[in-house]
Amino acid sequence: MFFTAEHKIFIIESYFRNGIIENDEWRYSSSACLQEFQRKFDEMVFLEGDFLNLVRNTVKNFRQNGSVDRK
């Protein structure tokens, strides 16, 4: 499955939107991101594990480079 820049931007926004503070530390939920993504892009078919890896890699890239594009 190919994820576009639009998909990756949605992932970043959803990931951070679903963050909560626990014990003065931010916690983020890839599962909540997955649920939002499935509602928004219901026509897409992919493996849950692949999506969770995409979330992790997209967030890591965004934090390092400030972009969803690969550098």
Per residue in 4-22, pLDDT (tens digit) is 999 999 999 999 999 999 9
At 22 the pLDDT is 95
pLDDT digits (tens, 9 = 90+) for 11-57: 999 999 999 999 999 999 999 999 999 999 999 999 999 999 999 99
Residue 1 has pLDDT above 80, yes or no: no
Distance CA 47, CA 49 (A): 5
pTM: 0.90
Distance CA 71, CA 44 (A): 26
Structure tokens at 23: 């014990």
Q: Where are the chain's structural domains?
A: 5-59
At 69 the pLDDT is 86
